[in-house]
Structure 1
Amino acid sequence: MKMGIISEERDWVTDELKSKMEKNDIDPVFIQPSKIVSSIASDVKFEHNNRNITDLECAFIRNIGDGVEMFHRFDTLKYLENYVPIINPMDGIENAGNKFRTSFLMEVNKIPHPKTIISEDVNKALIAAEKFEDVVLKPLFGSQGRGLVRVKGRSTVAKLKALNTFKSNNGVIYLQEFVTNPNNVYRDIRAFAVGDKVVSAMYRKSDSWITNIHQNGVAEKCEVSEELSKLVLAAKDALGLVYAGVDVMESSDGLKVIEVNACPSWEGLSRVSDTNITQYIIDAAIEYSKRC
């Protein structure tokens, strides 16, 4: 059995997948998206380093890179998905990679989510910002806490300046109500769902309101409650994912989904978890490839 690991660069996740595949007698095949040659109306439709890659049982997507090339690479993998099961599915990755799409999918599936406004009109965004006690501006496409702007306590003029700068940098204003933790601490929950189970969860705590591990957040074990499990699985399924890292905030009126990650790392989580997360993912991949 051969499984692909699609990534422009190797990191902890790719190495962890490789190690676990080998322990399961699976041959890992590393694939750089930039080196895939795709052909249409040809017998060999996909080559990587002169190798036909359509014989893979399935393939994991880790990192397709940045820049304008990523759009072509995404389409290449969308094409490849017709011949090789891709994990996560490309539609799910697209849903999770766009914060607006994630937000409206939470809304239509009645999954608790912070109040959110999306607009290209700075003045309309300012009116919305004035209605909330505290708001955060987020790039539609981004991860690891980069590019976030909080405007609490700013004057109307200062908010307008922040919104104009954000609009200039990002094109679209995605404005979300800041969720205050009822325990008066800066923390959120990263829960990891695989198939029909939330296999592990952690608190991410920080002295700053940005709690991502890559932004110096500290991981602590979090017990998976029934409420958390139900919410996280609903969010994963709403986006069409096989596995997901779901970010959840505690609030005075219950848990709320903040973000869903379709290509998450579980490096930080693995340090505080007793669960073999990678094995769950490999098992889910085998089952998913059988169904496709």
Structure 2
Amino acid sequence: MSLRVAIMTDEIGWHTRQLQAALRARGAQGRCLDLADCGIDTSRARHGLRLPGFERALPDAVIVRGIAGGSFEQVTQRLGVLHALRELGVPVYNDARAIERTVDKAMTTLLLHAAGLPTPPTWTSESEAVARRTVAREAAAGQALVLKPLFGSQGRGLVRVGQVNGRFEPLPALAGPPYNGLAYLQRWVPPLSEPGFDWRVLVIGGQARAAMQRVSGHWIHNIKQGARPVAAALTPELATLAERASAALGLDYAGVDILPTQRGLTVLEVNGIAAWQGLQRVTGFSIAQALVDDLLERRCAERCAARRA
């Protein structure tokens, strides 16, 4: 009987089709499932979960491709389902603990810093007064800061404040979306070239496998914000830094964003639900197949070994 893999996603499209094709190539089945449709039902099955399409059985493995936004309670339950699957012995790729570390930019930064990895100076505060003092202090030293939503992605909601292009840019109001009363401020790293770029390095199973430059005339380098992917050599320095960042956050796979600075490389962000469509355009192997192979050959093998033990 073929393995049945749940692909947790709130959006069916190119990435899920790639994963399903890669699973079929390995003789496995991939079924898309929205975590918003899952929950607890202790009356139905011994394991106590409601997983549409899986009846009373658990999936053999789970790939997390996307988690829809929602209220605090809704997101807590969705992550709770992933936590429960892990506790029930199902390999979850990446699991809820890892996703929580990377979705929360502040926790990502803190863990990178604790691991001794280079990352820009960062501040958080729920107090607008404290945040404004931080911006003023940095501006007095000639620095710009980037205000980011704590849970944002794809470059949305990023604003430069402080000393920007020779003028002072104040902190906007934090109440309501996208900041929701919290300032996450990170010192802006100016580009070393025009146009500017960063590197996105893909780490799978602890090993850096591919890299690209995301080149843009804008200071935001996300592909969704108009940056173009350019093939890049995966140098030992890039690979080592990306692998260490992924390990610091306990990830099965990761998209690690790295910036060049005058002092060397610095890790900007780590994505635990990384998209790879742009990277695939400049990469010579199937990224989806590499992800599926690592899941089946490493994580599922670990589960079988644990059962035998």
- TM-score range for the pair, normalised by the shorter chain length: over 0.9
Q: Aligned partners of 1:15 and 1:109: how far apart in 2?
A: 36
Structure 2 unmatched runs, 5+: 304-309
How much identity, in percent, do the aligned residues show? 30
Deviation at 1:92, TM superposition (A): 0.4
Q: Aligned partners of 2:292 and 2:18: how far apart in 1?
A: 11
What is the one-letter code of the residue matched to 1:99?
K
TM-score normalised by length of structure 2: 0.88
Secondary structure of the 2:284 match is coil
CA RMSD of aligned residues (A): 1.8
Any conservation in 1 of the 2:201–2:242 contact (CA below 8 Å)?
Answer: yes
Q: Aligned ranges for residues 154-233 of structure 1 at < 5 Å?
A: 158-159=169-170, 162-163=171-172, 165-169=173-177, 170=179, 171-233=181-243
What is the one-letter code of the residue matched to 1:105?
L
Deviation at 1:79, TM superposition (A): 1.4
Q: Of 253, 256, 281, which aligns to 2:291?
A: 281
Would you say 1:65 and 2:65 are equivalent positions?
no
Would you say 1:112 and 2:118 are equivalent positions?
yes
Any conservation in 1 of the 2:194–2:217 contact (CA below 8 Å)?
Answer: no
What does residue 79 of structure 1 align with? 84
Would you say 1:270 and 2:280 are equivalent positions?
yes
Would you say 1:35 and 2:37 are equivalent positions?
yes
Secondary structure of the 2:266 match is strand
Any conservation in 1 of the 2:206–2:253 contact (CA below 8 Å)?
Answer: no
**Which is bigger in relative contact order (C-alpha 8 A, separation at least 6)?**
1
Q: Aligned partners of 1:123 and 1:74: how far apart in 2?
A: 33
What is the total number of aligned residue pairs between the two structures? 288
Would you say 1:121 and 2:159 are equivalent positions?
no
What does residue 24 of structure 1 align with? 26
Cα gap change, 1:55 to 1:72, in 2 (>3 Å): closer
Q: Aligned partners of 2:159 and 2:57: how far apart in 1?
A: 43
What does residue 89 of structure 1 align with? 95
Bigger shift: 128-137 or 188-197? 128-137
Q: Aligned partners of 1:36 and 1:278: how far apart in 2?
A: 25
What does residue 47 of structure 1 align with? 50
Structure 1 unmatched runs, 5+: none
Bigger shift: 117-126 or 232-241? 117-126
What does residue 302 of structure 2 align with? 291
TM-score normalised by length of structure 1: 0.92
Q: Aligned partners of 1:28 and 1:275: how far apart in 2?
A: 20
What is the one-letter code of the residue matched to 2:64?
I
